[in-house]
Amino acid sequence: MRKVRHAIVFLLAAVTLPLAALDAPPAGNLIPELNFQNPAGWSLGCEGTIQSVGGKFGDQVLEIRRNDASLYQPVSYQLNRKQLKNNTVYTFGAWVQGSKDSNPSLAVEFHDRTGKYLSGVYLGDHTPSMTEWHLFSGEFTVPENAGHAKLTLFLPKNRVGINRFCGMFVARAERAPELWLYWKSPRGTLFTDAEKTEMTFGIQMLGLPENLMNKNLPLRASIEQNGTVYGSCTGNWRTTAREIAFTLPVHPGYSEVRVEITTPDGKPVAVRKMPLTAAPASEALRPGTVSIDANGRILVDGKKFLPIGLYMNCVDDRLKQPRNLEEDLQIIARSPFNCILDYSAMSWKEPGKIMEFCEANGIKVIAPMGADQNVPLMGRFQDSPALLAWYIADEPPGSELENILKRKAELLKRDFRHPILAVFCRDNDVARFASLCDLYGVDHYSITNPGDTLDGVVGGLENTLRALAIPNPPLVGVPQFHNIGNYATRSPEEYAKYRAPTETEMRASVWLDAISGAKAFLGYSYFDLFSGVNGEDEFDRRWPEVCRVGADLRELSDYLLGDAPMRKIVFRGDGGILRGGLFTADDGRRCVLIAAPHGPVKGSFTLPAGWKPQSRYGLVRHLGGNRWEFSSDGAAAELLID
């Protein structure tokens, strides 16, 4: 899947269904029928109107019309938060029609009680023309801390044209209760010689009947291998609890842990099987084995390793001709980056030769397994010392989770030496998504136009960490290096309205990931540096900036991978948006990372007594004693180091 971005913050993941799939909104629709004479509940702004005719079925239509590309005012309907239940799957959508290049889009967005943006699920289509009626449909769950929710319909930023919407709906999805689990411990393959292992899962139950809410429900856990159960235990689950734990025996090889929840009188409620591969503890130290430790760090041959990587794609359809992979790898080999994730790896003509080059030049490879037909091709990578991990999913919709979980099981049956990575941009389904992977990637991109800030990165990280609730999560940061305009237009005039993140913003994004606990970094993306309208000229200008950010991470590897836990920096004054952390290398050296998503901002803080590090970017001054002050007029990244 390619990352397609909209002018707000998150992914536009369109699900276009056959025209005959839905002739009327579903039962229980929370969006009232349009009334062109009384638009109660709708915020139409200056762009939206309700017309009496023109809809897909000859009924009313909500029309958004824009002639000035500099304007942007989405139309929205405020949903009744009391009608939306937590831990429940909802479906939403609309019939949409647009003029050429108008890209009709819609979303459900969530804010907390103070109005702060939390997250959203976005639907859209970037095909050249949407002049025929199409049905866009998606799913969402409500973040626990959401105080407000709204359906938003819009013509994306920097667009002109006419978009029409009809048959809008938000309704509870009709389905049986869903039990979702994700591993908190162990992480990835279980390397152990013990006969029994304590297992801890994050848990979420979607669609639990109201008569079972806030009750203790019986739980039975068992573990099986080749269809034979070899261990089991029973207990109870309080439906408000977000974690369960139990102890089971584990045999070497592939097993499945089965968790079943029942009603108090023993009737089945929901069941989930989780794949697990176990191996003797000595296997974690063998050459070619990659594991994840209790601190969320990646270990290669038992030694700590900080991936500093780049997404690649040699056959992106925006390129005038396919890139020369060998030439690009030589460029990367001379850079600070030590890892690649190539979307086009499954089509490499000589994978053995490429993997040998990567091994010889210290480049680790993450191989994409984002489709079932790729699984049989594992052998072309699996035995190479350069392989770091399998890439199983790239911002998947919730409807794909069951299929991806089956793919994960197939990977684990074939390989216990490499972890599985998936990357996500939505914060309100974290518990479900986390079931798919050992390494959880986060890629909130918030820089699109002049005036944009990194607030979306901060919010996305905080929401993800809150939902995972794991000490030292195996987090992979995927900072924005690309210009979203690359995906929006090929017109030089239109492209000029977009912008790439500055070097400072890229560095601040990386710092925010690190302060949040990331122990791996994959910049998105290398190929975007030359796939835009300006081609190689943009690469020549921006590649040195990207390399300087990568070089910073190489310099900080010992600190970010240190055994001592990060100490959070607490700011006083205007430090509400500031994030900071003190990191300690295993030899005692220390550094501080500070990131500001936007400015102006100022905040004071304390450091260990007697320590007087140097400021790399001149944004911190010593106030005397152990007090220091940070200030910046805009987004900023500061490094204090011995």
pLDDT (0 to 100) of residue 6 = 34
Mean pLDDT of 1-23: 39
The C-alpha angle with vertex 122 and arms to 522 and 132, in degrees rounded to 5, equals 125
Three-class SS state of 492: helix
Q: CA 529, CA 539: separation in Å to the nearest integer?
A: 5
pLDDT-derived band at 147 (thresholds 50, 70, 90) equals very high
Question: In this structure, what token pair is assigned to residue 377?
Answer: 């091709």
Does pLDDT of 9 surpass 80?
no
- pLDDT tens-digit map of 402-433: 999 999 999 999 999 999 999 998 887 888 99
- Please state, in angstroms and rounded to a whole number, the distance separating the CA atoms of residues 165 and 96: 5
Average pLDDT of the segment spanning 181-205: 94
Instruction: Output the pLDDT for position 3.
Output: 41
530 or 58, which is more confident?
530
Read off the pLDDT band of 57 (50, 70, 90): confident
Q: Quick one: CA dihedral 542, 544, 548, 551, positive or negative?
A: positive
H-run or E-run covering 407: helix 401-414
What are the backbone dihedrals phi and psi of residue 52, each rounded to the nearest 5 degrees, phi first? -75, -25
Cα dihedral 42, 44, 49, 54 sign: negative
259's tokens? 């968790």
Q: How far is CA 348 from the centre of its chain?
A: 27
Yes or no: say if 513 and 579 are a contact pair by the CB < 8 Å rule. no
In contact, 530 and 486? CB cutoff 8 Å: no
Least confident of 25-39, 80-94, 135-149, 302-316: 25-39
pLDDT given for residue 18 in this prediction: 38
Q: What's residue 342's pLDDT?
A: 97
- β-pairing, 339-342 vs 308-312, is parallel
pLDDT for res 73: 87
Name the pairing type of β-strands 579-584 and 590-596: antiparallel
Task: Give CA–CA dist 160/94, Å, rounded.
Answer: 20
Using an 8 Å Cβ cutoff, are 365 and 388 in contact?
yes
Q: How confident is the model at residue 22 (pLDDT cuts 50, 70, 90)?
A: low
Cβ burial of 211 (10 Å; 0-12, 13-18, 19+) is exposed
Return d(Cα 342, Cα 474) in angstroms, integer. Answer: 21
Q: What is the DSSP letter of 34?
A: P
Q: CA dihedral in degrees (635, 478, 7, 601; nearest 10)? A: -10
Q: How confident is residue 100, by pLDDT bands cut at 50, 70 and 90?
A: confident
Q: Which of 186-190, 203-207, 527-531 has the lowest mean pLDDT?
A: 186-190
- 3-state secondary structure labels for all residues of 117-147: EEEEEEEECCCCCCCCCEEEEEEECCCCCCC
* pLDDT value, residue 10: 35
In the chain, what are the helix, strand and coil shares in percent, each to the nearest 5? 20, 35, 40
Q: What percent of the chain has pLDDT over 90?
A: 74
Q: Tell me, what's the pLDDT at 125?
A: 64
Strand extents, DSSP E, 193-338: 196-206, 216-225, 228-238, 243-249, 253-262, 268-279, 290-292, 298-300, 303-305, 308-312
Bridge-based pairing state of the strands 475-477 and 439-442: parallel
Of the chain, the percentage scoring pLDDT greater than 70 comes to 95
DSSP of 427-467, one letter per residue? STTHHHHGGG-SEEEE------STT--SHHHHHHHHHHHHH
Per-residue confidence (pLDDT) for residue 126, from 0 to 100: 55
pLDDT at 23 over 80: no
Retrieve residue 607's tokens: 């450091």
Please report which confidence band the pLDDT of residue 347 belongs to, taking 50, 70 and 90 as the band edges: very high
41-54: average pLDDT:
90
| pLDDT > 80? residue 191 | yes
Closest CA to 435 of 459, 405, 477: 405
The pLDDT-based confidence of 24 (bands split at 50, 70, 90) is low
> What's residue 71's pLDDT?
85
**pLDDT score of 1:** 36
In this structure, is the dihedral angle defined by the CA atoms of residues 429, 473, 438 and 314, taken in order, positive or negative?
positive
Give the whole-angstrom CA distance, residue 251 versus residue 224: 9
Amino acid at residue number 634: G
- Residue 606 scores a pLDDT above 60: yes
What does the pLDDT read at residue 12? 38
pLDDT attached to residue 53? 86
Which residues of 250-397 form beta strands (DSSP E)?
253-262, 268-279, 290-292, 298-300, 303-305, 308-312, 339-342, 364-368, 387-394
The residue type found at 521 is: F
Residue 130: per-residue pLDDT: 73
The pLDDT, as a whole number, for residue 5 is: 34
The 10s digit of each residue's pLDDT in 113-133 is 998 888 888 888 655 567 888
> Average model confidence (pLDDT) for the chain?
91
- Cα–Cα distance for residue pair 168/56, rounded to 1 Å: 11
> What's the CA angle centered on 384, arms 380 and 386, to 5 degrees?
120
| Among 336, 331, 335, 339, CA closest to 359 | 339
**Other beta carbons within 10 Å of 67:** 9
> 185 falls in which pLDDT band (50, 70, 90)?
very high
What tokens were used for 169?
């709906």
Counting runs of H as helices and runs of E as strands, what totals does the chain give? 11, 39
**Residue corresponding to tokens 């977009």:** 498
